[in-house]
Amino acid sequence: VHLFDIDIPGKITFQESKTLTAGQDLTIVDTDVGRIGIGICYDIRFQELAMLYAARGAHLLCYPGAFNMTTGPLHWELLQRARAADNQLFVATCAPARDTSSSYVAWGHSTLVGPFGEVIATIEHDEATIIAEIDYSLIEQRRQFLPLRHQRRGDLYQLVDVQGSGSK
């Protein structure tokens, strides 16, 4: 949905908009293992997108992504944990293994984060597979312990779903 166009002088310049077009729809997939909201890489930076997925009933947000060696160490895990904790759901990320001979070197670090922002499983930058159990009952438990949805101040701010819950 969001294109990665950045310029950090002396570090990295990247413009996805030169070769890609931004997505126009939110993607939620109903599966045998739950309702999954899908974002790609840079989308993880936008809390509003994650909030819409949560409002539409997602149990898990999945972000395949390839953060670079500049933003990866600073933001990749932080953003995963923030999206999970803010929305009290699971976040799974999958990233390519690091290839230092490539023109684009990815940070790696595929991870599964729980609804309190706790890292359940993670790997470093080598090729590997994460296998972990997801207990969706923790979502409701965490939401009872910390009832953020009921404590939001709709009289002061609101998130508007312009596509409506009937979309993808």
Q: Alpha-carbon distance 107 to 67, whole Å?
A: 6
Question: Band of the pLDDT at 164, cuts 50, 70, 90?
Answer: confident
CA triplet 18, 19, 20: central angle to 5 degrees? 110
DSSP conformation class of 27: E
Q: Which residue has the tokens 């930058």?
A: 125
Per-residue H/E/C for 111-138: EEECCCCCEEEECCCCCCCCCCCCCCHH
Q: Which of 103, 90, 25 is nearest to 63 (CA)?
A: 90
Q: What is the average pLDDT across 141-154? A: 94
Angle between helices 47-55 and 72-87 (to 10 degrees): 30
Edge-to-edge strands of the sheet including 119-122? 27-31, 34-38, 60-64, 90-94, 111-113, 119-122
User: Could you read off the pLDDT of 12-62 as tens digits, one per residue?
Assistant: 888 999 999 999 999 999 999 899 999 999 999 999 999 999 999 999 999
DSSP conformation class of 48: H
Residue 90 near residue 142, CB atoms below 8 Å: no
Q: What is the average pLDDT across 119-148? A: 95
Average pLDDT, the chain: 94
For the chain, list the domains and their CATH numbers: 19-150 (3.60.110.10)
